[in-house]
Amino acid sequence: MEVGFLGLGIMGKGMSMNLLKHGFKVTVWNRTLSKCDELVALGASIGETPAAVVKKCKFTIAMLSDPPAALSVVFDKDGVLETIGSGKGYIDMSTVDHPTSTKISEAIASKGGHFLEAPVSGSKKPAEDGQLIILAAGEKALYEEITPAFDVMGKKTFFLGQVGNGAKMKLVVNMIMGSMVNAFSEGLVLAGKSGLDPHTLLDVLSLGAIANPMFGGKGPAMIQGNYSPAFPLKHQQKDMRLALALGDENAVSMPVAAAANEAFKKARSMGLGDLDFSAVFETVKDLQH
């Protein structure tokens, strides 16, 4: 199966490598073209532009940072819209809001092409290990055709119906995660300041009803101040912003998420946007001075 892949950031790199390893023929494009080199060394071809990739491949997957990036790759010069058409499928796995996804879907359909949104839950390591949770929505026939690729990239795929539902589900999940990491950060600071060993807190948490892979995975590195990025903080703040907009649209009051968003904004203003989202811990520590 021949697939195109647009966007070789932290996630796209791991996902496209998995496709290559499992025998897919992959044609890659990245805005910063040098990021294609590692994939080419593993057997991928390069497309000079998104349009060139779509022209060559029946299916093209995108994994881009945010709504402006997702829209630019489709609508700008040399973009997907120039060559998409009947018999071709475009699968956007970026985390965006549902208006962005709908706009892309309608544009692709107007050219006779097929569209699926498929944002993912999981991070750098699950992307590398093919263990993502894929939240697909859109054209069912395209979903069925692209399932072999999803099976390689993910451990479970949900088909959620019409375009927009995948985006919404992803934003709800990340809103919860963004609030959780803030509560966790406050707990670590409170433990330390009140004379407890934060490592013991991790042990206690790991045995109880609120144990989860995020506390266990991020906690030790946070205590050491190590925020090597698996999920960049700037993207987590984007997800909080988009989830709050979804709350706005549906008149859902979310004071906890709003406070968490403020902490991520503060972290960005402190220059922490490219670090892991767990670096929001630094803003909680900063409040104590």
Applying CB under 6 A, the span of 61-69, 201-209, 258-266, 280-288 interacting with ligand NAP comes to: 61-69
- Kindly write out the interface string for residues 126-165 of this chain, putting x where it contacts ligand NAP by CB under 6 A and - elsewhere: ----------------------------------------
Applying CB under 6 A, the span of 1-9, 39-47, 142-150, 281-289 interacting with ligand NAP comes to: 1-9
What region does 164 belong to: left with phi over 0, alpha with psi -120 to 50, or beta?
left
Taking the C-alpha atoms of residue 261 and residue 240, their distance in angstroms, rounded to an integer, is 6
Name the residue whose CB lies closest to ligand NAP: 9
Active site residues: 170
Applying CB under 6 A, the span of 59-67, 82-90, 99-107, 109-117 interacting with ligand NAP comes to: 59-67
Q: What is the CA radius of gyration of the chain?
A: 20
Cα atoms in the 13 Å half-sphere on the side-chain side of 64 = 27
Q: Of 36 and 191, which CB lies nearer to ligand NAP in the complex structure?
A: 36
Residue 69 found at the interface with ligand NAP (CB under 6 A): yes
Q: Of 28 and 191, which CB lies nearer to ligand NAP in the complex structure?
A: 28
- Kindly write out the interface string for residues 5-24 of this chain, putting x where it contacts ligand NAP by CB under 6 A and - elsewhere: --xxxxxx------------
Residue 241 found at the interface with ligand NAP (CB under 6 A): no
| Burial state string for 170-189 with b = 16 or more CB within 10 A and e = fewer than 16 | bbebbbebbbbbbebbebbb
Q: Distances from the Cα of 274 to the Cαs of 92, 237, 269, 283, in angstroms?
A: 23, 11, 11, 15
Which residues contact ligand NAP by CB under 6 A?
Answer: 7-12, 30-32, 35, 63-66, 68-69, 72-73, 94-95, 120, 123-124, 230-232, 235
